[in-house]
Structures are given as C-alpha cells and as structure tokens.
Amino acid sequence: MWSTFFLHEDDGRPLPPGASLGSGALGGVMGGGFGGRGAGAGAMGIKRRALKSSTSGHPRGLTEMQEGKIKLAFFVAIVGVVMTVLGLGTDFWVELSPPKSFYNNRTCLAAHYGLWKGCTRTLWVADIDPERDSCGPAELPGESNCTYFKFYTTGENTVIFRKTTDKSLNVVTAMMALCSLFLMLMGSICISMSLSKGESFFLKPASVCFILSGILVLLSLLVFNQSVVLFLASDHLVPLHHELSWSVSCVGCAGAILILGGIIFLVLSLPYNPCRRCLPQQNESNS
C-alpha cells in the first residue's frame, strides 16, 4: 500500500515507489510538513489579529485636521448661541415712542419691551435730538420702570400707551425661543461627544440641532413682528412711532450663524469632500 504513494524530496522531485527513506530523511519530511503547517497557522493568526484590531478600533477616527475643522465650526456655532442668549435676555426688541409734545414740553415717555418684560422710561425733551419728532431713543438717561409680563403667570394682558399686547403670540415667541435654546444645548453635547470619542457619527445630529435652532430663532422673530403689528392696531388713540431695536438684530444674526454652523457640521460629516465631487476637472488640472 505504501508503494502507491509518491514521496517528495525537499527539492520537489518525486521518489519512485518502493524507495526507502532513512530515519533522518523521514524525520526531515515529517518535520518539514509540520513546520509548514505551523508557519501557515502562524500567518493565519497574524491575519486574524490584524483584522480584529482593525475592526475593534476606530476606523472612522478623527484626524488632527478634522478635529481642527470641527473646533472651528463649533466656535462659529458658539458665537450664534451667545448672541441668541444675549438677544433673548434683553428687552430691547421693540421701542415705542409717542410725539415729544404729547404729554408736556419738558418730559416725554418712551417704552421698550422684549419677550419677558416691558419698560417705560421718562426722558427729558432737552436731551432729545431737535430734529426728532418722537420721544426717544430709549437708551437716553431717564427714570425707568420695568415690569415682567403677567400673561406668563396670571394670563393677563399688558397695556402700554393704551394699547394691549397679544399674549398668545408673545407666548408662542417665547416657547419657540426656549425650544431653540434646548436644541442648541443638544447640538453642543453632540459636538463635545464627537471630539471626546473621536467619532464623526455625532456630527449629523449636531448639524440637525443647530439648523433647526436657527430656523426656530428666525421664526420667533416673524411671530414677534406680527405681535407688534397687532399691538399697534389694538388702539389708535395714541400715535406711536415704533422700531425694532438691537436685540432683534442680535437674534437675527444669531439665527443665520446657527444655520451656517449646522451646514458646516453637515458637510464635515460627509464621507467624501463635496468640493472634489463638484469640481473634478479643476482638481485634475491642478494635479
């Protein structure tokens, strides 16, 4: 039976049937066979360990350049968050001013309010610009009286210069502003987790949060403007000059910055560079 098998030497030449092998040759053949199996098993073990390390690691880990871009975009978003908080916390959303001579020739009243409270200010006519027909601006020095709106507590409307505020629209504006702040907080948490974990997975939810927060901020401005229009139309006995103040400008810029930051995060979360996809010919010519 053993004569029907061909045994191969180390150089690959077959041995004829019935050829005898010494104990040294047989040991070499057997050792070579087991050595080949050991080498193959070692190579397979190295490949398995390499595959395991590649799958158990962070294949989408952030590079230093990506982290720098994310931090720069996060700084832009933080600027929008700070401007939003500044605008929402102040009460210079709209300024109301009757004619200078409506009350007397020495003093006049001006008013300004925001989302949470309204203020009336007694100004000296001598401090007002002679070319200005109405009382104001409200930033001039004078005696001020500020009160928080009662429609957040008792549901009562506020009367300013015999005109009544629209509590429903004011409450909607405040609720949209608070929702935008919550989304900003969630987006900031996602970016912090992305930087700490070294994963780009959290960039997409962060971009959605910042874009939605910016949209809510801009919508709150539209609703507030509509509430001002209804406020002025509630009573026409007192002529009023109104203008949107610097708080509205601050909130409007903040909304645009938040949307821009969210778009940047969305671009950074893509697995490819959109500029190279849109401009392939220009990239090839430069290379």
Say what the pTM is: 0.71
Instruction: Tell me the sheet residues that pair with 99.
Output: 134
Query: How many domains does the structure of the chain reveal?
Result: 1
28: CB partners within 8 A, 6+ apart: 10
Q: Give the pLDDT of the chain (287 residues) as one tens digit per residue.
A: 444 444 444 444 555 554 444 444 434 444 444 444 444 444 455 445 544 444 444 444 678 888 888 999 999 999 999 999 999 999 999 999 888 877 777 888 889 999 999 999 888 888 888 888 888 888 888 888 888 988 888 888 888 888 888 888 999 999 999 999 999 999 999 999 988 888 878 899 999 999 999 999 999 999 999 999 999 888 778 788 888 989 999 999 999 999 999 999 999 888 766 555 555 555 455 54
In a domain, 98, yes or no: yes
Measured N-to-C along each axis, helices 246-269 and 64-89 cross at an angle, to the nearest 10 degrees, of 160
In a domain, 43, yes or no: no
Task: Write the CATH number for 228.
Answer: 1.20.140.150
**Residue-number span of the structural domain to which 106 is assigned:** 64-271
In a domain, 55, yes or no: no
In a domain, 10, yes or no: no
Question: What is the helix (H) or strand (E) element at residue 147, kind and residue range?
Answer: strand 143-148
In a domain, 126, yes or no: yes
